[in-house]
Amino acid sequence: MPITSSAKKALRQNKKRKVHNLTYRNKTKTLMKRGLSLAKEGKHEELKRLLPFIYKALDKAAKVGVIKKNTAARRKSLIARSFAPAQEARLAPEGRQDKKLTPQK
């Protein structure tokens, strides 16, 4: 237990900040879980509607310092990668293989 008045105040601030940070952390966590489960189930229309909310929550969490900027970028990339293969499968015709473009020297 804190003894000095400044330590008591620091404890009060830490409790308040913890609650504030947990709201952002829980929101990003639940949205990420929902997005990944939708991608796994193949519900890509729902995932498409959910993507802006996931991006917004991750950007906001990074902005206020709950997670780091690269962590937010990595998680957004993970969601985009889980969404992309299904979208490519719908757009590419059957039996056609797209050639990968290699950079010319």
Tell me the Cα Rg of the chain.
21
Number of domains observed in the structure of the chain: 1
The mean per-residue pLDDT over the stretch 17-39 comes to 95
Domain holding 53, by residue range, is: 20-88
Check whether 105 has a pLDDT greater than 80.
no
Q: What is the CATH number of the domain that holds 83?
A: 1.20.58.110
Nearest Cα to Cα of residue 88 among 98, 79, 78: 98
39 and 82 in contact (C-beta within 8 Å)? yes
Q: What is the DSSP string of 26-41?
A: HHHHHHHHHHHHHHHH
- Domain membership of residue 4 (yes or no) is no
pLDDT tens digit sequence for 34-48: 999 999 998 889 999
- Domain membership of residue 8 (yes or no) is no
- Domain membership of residue 99 (yes or no) is no
Q: Which residue has the higher pLDDT, 88 or 54?
A: 54
Rounded to two decimals, what is the model's pTM?
A: 0.74
Share of the chain above pLDDT 70, in %: 80
CA distances from 77 to 3, 36, 52, 61, 84 (A): 46, 12, 13, 16, 10
